[in-house]
Amino acid sequence: MDSREHHREHGRVRMHLPVRLRWSTPFGQKIELGETLDVSRGGLLVSTKEPHTPGVMVWVTSPFDASLRDGQPEIFARVVRCEEVLENIGVTLAHEKNQFERARLKWRSAKSDQPACDIGISHGPPAFAVAFHFEPQPRTSSNGNSHHREPERRGSVRKALAIPVRIYPEGIPWFEEAMTMDISATGMRLRSHREYTLGDRLKIAFEDPATAPWHGAGEFHSEVVRVAPVPGSAALEIGVRRVN
Long-range contacts, stretch 215-223, CB < 8 angstroms, 24+ apart: 219/168, 220/244, 222/187, 222/188, 223/199
Distance CA 189, CA 162 (A): 10
**Burial (Cβ within 10 Å: 0-12, 13-18, ≥19) of residue 243:** exposed
The 10s digit of each residue's pLDDT in 33-79 is 999 999 988 899 999 988 998 988 888 988 888 887 666 788 889 89
| Whether the predicted model's global pTM rises above the 0.75 cut | no
In a domain, 128, yes or no: yes
Q: How far apart are CA 237 and CA 231, in angstroms?
A: 10
- Each residue's pLDDT tens digit, 132-189: 998 776 554 444 444 444 444 555 677 878 888 889 888 887 888 888 888 998 999 9
pLDDT band at 235 (very low <50, low <70, confident <90, very high): confident
- Write out the residue range of the structural domain in which residue 87 sits: 3-134
For residue 142, the model assigns a pLDDT of: 44
Indicate if 82 and 7 belong to the same structural domain: yes
Tell me, yes or no, whether 10 and 63 share the same domain: yes
Has residue 92 got a pLDDT over 70? no
Predicted pLDDT of residue 57: 85
β-partners of residue 223 are 201, 241
Among 197, 184, 185, residue whose Cα is nearest residue 238: 197
Instruction: Provide the CATH number for the domain around residue 105.
Output: 2.40.10
Look at residues 118, 134, 150 and tell me which one is the last residue of a structural domain.
Answer: 134
SS3 of the chain: helix, strand, coil, percent, to 5: 10, 40, 50
Q: What is the CATH number of the domain that holds 167?
A: 2.40.10.220
Are 128 and 174 members of one domain?
A: no
- pLDDT value at 8 more than 70: no
Residue 149 belongs to a domain: no
Q: Do residue 120 and residue 210 come from a single domain?
A: no
**CA of 79: how far to CAs of 46, 115, 132, 198, in Å?**
10, 27, 5, 30
On whether residue 140 sits in a domain, the answer given is no
Residue where a domain stops, chosen among 100, 134, 168 = 134
The one-letter code for the residue type at 142 is: S
Q: Give yes or no: residues 118 and 52 share one domain.
A: yes
Tally of domains within the chain: 2
Residue 89 located in a structural domain = yes
Q: Rounded distance, CA 206 to CA 220, Å?
A: 9
Is residue 240 within a helix (H) or strand (E), and if so which, with residue range?
Answer: strand 236-242
Q: Are residues 49 and 83 in the same domain?
A: yes
| 78 in the same domain as 119 | yes
